[in-house]
Structures are given as structure tokens and as C-alpha cells.
């Protein structure tokens, strides 16, 4: 089934709330492109009538994250902004929360820990409502940044150590939220040097041979579950392992670095498109 809605995947510009760090969200003046982009995707109605529901379940400091995003969206002209608080799995079964999804124009997932997010809402009635809305409503957008973006595909990078070489134990894959098949998403991609882990992820996951590594201040709009369009000032790195040739992934032990050949790599910038099924891109 081809989804009628759209996905807005953002490369991320906040931290997870680690000790000594404070999560940040850029204000309207420096990050207007994502607000403008989101508004254009949802509906022809004005921002004052667009309903956005924020889910900060991935964050270790959800209240603070909710407050920052609420303020940022309202400063950008969105009036109907709500918080869908999911603190425990039972919350994702609540009929009132599900009803709010049904009336929303956008559900936005913040950053944090993608494993935590999926453990709270994956496979729940709330997530089923998001799926139905995404597949049936052409004006509905599921948006996410950082961990919220990484969790969207069916296959998710749940852990990845960054070293000079890649070892089998460095990467952990798990089930995501299932909004798109055949692709793995990584964020903060260039700044945090995540090429190796995404390359290994797509090379070792037969069901998801395409990797999308988003730089910060960069977003990818996915239409029809197939057409990817890059937006923002940064770069999206697309890694295609479909024609992978020689690799030692199967034979390597825990102490042998992973090698692979014949990966295809595309660099997408503002306005460039990539088509998942066709494995091609256009200027």
C-alpha cells in the first residue's frame, strides 16, 4: 500500500540530555527552513489552524524537551500545538491520546533514545493510529528529529560504536516504528562521523539495503514511501549496498574488522531527489 501522507526526517540539532549538557533547539530566525517546510507539507490551512502533537517519549528529560519545542513552534506561528505525554506503555493505549492523533495534521517525535521511544509506542494502538493516518491522509505528516527520525523505518540502528574500524559487536539493529521499509536512517551523520556504522548496517541487513545519513540542519521529505527530497543547508549521504561484492561480514569474528567493496554512495543537497525502489537520483 502506498502511503498518502509524508515523512519529514530531520538530521537533528539537539543532544539527549547527557550529564553536563543541555538540549538545544534553534529558534525561528536560524532554523526557519524546517518550520516553513513542515507548514507547506501539512495542509493549505494557515499555521494557526494546523494541529501539531509533540511526542517526547524518546527523551530522558521529556518535560524540558516538550517546553522547548512547544515554545519554538508557537514562536513560528503554530497555535494549536499539544503534548502527547507517553511515560509508560499503557499511555499508548489511551483512547483520548489516540483520538488526538486522528485529529492532528502532524505528529512530531523529538530526539533522545530511539530504543526507549519504540519500547513505549511500537506496535501500540497509538502507533497503529499514526500508521492509518499516514497511509490514508494526504495532508498528514509524521516528523522526527535525531532519535525520532532514526526510529521511523521498519529497521532501526539502536546502537552503534564509532571507531577507526568496524567490528560486529559495534552495531545493534532492532525493529523500528515501521513507517517505511527498505531503508535505515542515521542522524548527526557528518558531524559525528557515522559513515562506517551506517555502511555496516545496510550491508548486514538484507531487508534494508539503503542507508540515509542526514547532516545537521538538513531534512529529508519522503513522499509516496519512495521519493526522497533533500532540504536544508547540509548534505544527505545515501549509501546503497544492493550491489555489495566482497565482504567478510559472515566470516569475521569479534576481533576482525569488517571489510566490504562496491558500495554506492550519493550526496544529496537542497532540492536533490532519490528514488528508493528505482535506486536512482535526479538533479
State pLDDT tens for residues 134-150: 999 999 999 999 999 99
Give the helix ranges, DSSP H, for the chain.
32-42, 62-75, 95-103, 114-121, 125-136, 147-150, 195-203
**Residue 28: band (very low, low, confident or very high) from pLDDT cuts 50, 70, 90:** very low
| Per-residue pLDDT at 171 | 84
d(CA 143, CA 173): 22
| Per-residue pLDDT at 65 | 86
Whether 141 and 42 have beta carbons less than 8 Å apart is answered as yes
pLDDT of residue 29 exceeding 70, the answer is no
Picking from 218, 242, 145, 134, the residue whose alpha carbon sits closest to that of residue 178 is: 134
| Per-residue pLDDT at 77 | 82
User: Checking phi first, is residue 259 left (phi over 0); if not, alpha (psi -120 to 50) or beta?
Assistant: beta
- Could you identify the residue written with the cell 526510529? 151
| Per-residue pLDDT at 176 | 97
Write out pLDDT tens, residues 30-65: 444 566 677 777 765 667 678 999 999 999 888 888
Question: Average pLDDT, stretch 75-93?
Answer: 92
- Could you identify the residue written with the cell 511515560? 87
Q: Could you tell me which residues come within 8 angstroms of residue 106 by beta carbon, excluding any fewer than 6 positions away?
A: 38, 42, 50, 51, 52, 53, 140, 141, 142, 143
Structure-block grid coordinates of residue 22: 543541555
CA angle (114, 192, 229) in 5-degree steps: 70
pLDDT of residue 236 exceeding 50, the answer is yes
| Per-residue pLDDT at 43 | 61
Cβ neighbours, 10 Å, residue 116: 16
Phi, psi (deg, nearest 5) at residue 189: -70, -50
- Could you identify the residue written with the cell 499503557? 90
| Per-residue pLDDT at 48 | 66
Picking from 172, 177, 196, the residue whose alpha carbon sits closest to that of residue 92 is: 177
Tell me the longest C-alpha to C-alpha distance in the chain.
Answer: 57
pLDDT of residue 181 exceeding 70, the answer is yes
pLDDT of residue 219 exceeding 60, the answer is yes
**Residue 166: band (very low, low, confident or very high) from pLDDT cuts 50, 70, 90:** confident
d(CA 226, CA 181): 9
Structural domains in the chain, sorted by start: 6-276 (3.40.50.880)
- Judged by average pLDDT, the poorest of 121-130, 155-164, 227-236 is 155-164
d(CA 39, CA 29): 16
HSE toward the beta carbon, residue 202, CA cutoff 13 A: 31
Question: Average pLDDT, stretch 91-103?
Answer: 97
Q: Which DSSP category does 47 fall into?
A: G
Question: Average pLDDT, stretch 209-229?
Answer: 93
Average predicted confidence (pLDDT) for the chain: 86
pLDDT of residue 128 exceeding 80, the answer is yes
CA angle (46, 92, 10) in 5-degree steps: 50
| Per-residue pLDDT at 121 | 97
Amino acid at each position: 500500500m502506498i502511503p498518502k501522507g509524508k515523512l519529514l526526517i530531520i538530521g537533528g540539532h539537539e543532544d539527549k540530555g547527557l550529564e553536563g549538557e543541555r538540549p538545544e533547539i534553534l529558534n525561528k530566525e536560524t532554523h526557519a527552513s524546517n518550520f516553513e517546510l513542515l507548514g507547506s507539507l501539512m495542509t493549505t490551512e494557515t499555521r494557526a489552524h494546523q494541529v501539531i502533537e509533540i511526542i517526547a517519549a524518546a527523551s530522558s528529560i521529556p518535560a524540558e524537551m516538550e517546553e522547548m519545542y512547544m515554545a519554538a513552534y508557537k514562536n513560528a506561528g503554530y497555535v494549536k500545538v499539544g503534548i502527547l505525554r507517553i511515560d509508560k506503555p499503557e499511555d499508548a493505549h489511551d483512547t483520548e491520546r489516540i483520538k488526538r492523533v486522528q485529529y492532528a495534521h502532524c505528529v512530531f517525535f523529538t530526539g533522545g533514545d530511539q530504543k526507549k521511544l519504540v519500547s513505549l509506542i511500537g506496535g501500540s494502538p497509538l502507533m497503529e493510529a499514526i500508521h492509518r493516518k499516514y497511509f490514508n491522509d494526504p495532508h498528514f505528516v509524521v516528523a522526527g528529529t535525531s532519535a525520532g527520525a532514526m526510529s521511523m523505518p521498519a529497521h532501526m540502528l539502536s546502537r552503534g560504536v564509532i571507531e577507526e574500524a568496524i567490528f560486529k559487536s559495534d552495531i545493534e539493529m532492532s525493529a523500528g516504528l515501521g513507517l517505511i521499509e527498505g531503508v535505515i536512517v542515521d542522524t548527526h551523520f557528518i558531524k559525528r562521523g557515522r559513515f562506517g556504522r551506517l555502511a555496516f548496517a545496510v550491508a548486514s541487513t538484507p531487508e534494508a539495503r539503503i542507508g540515509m545519513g542526514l547532516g545537521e540542519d538538513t531534512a529529508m521529505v519522503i513522499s509516496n514511501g519512495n521519493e526522497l527530497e533533500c532540504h536544508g543547508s547540509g548534505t544527505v549521504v545515501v549509501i546503497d549496498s544492493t550491489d555489495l561484492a566482497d565482504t567478510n561480514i559472515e566470516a569475521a569474528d569479534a576481533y576482525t574488522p569488517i571489510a566490504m567493496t562496491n558500495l554506492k554512495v550519493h550526496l544529496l543537497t537542497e532540492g536533490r531527489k532519490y528514488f528508493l525502489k528505482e535506486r536512482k537520483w535526479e538533479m
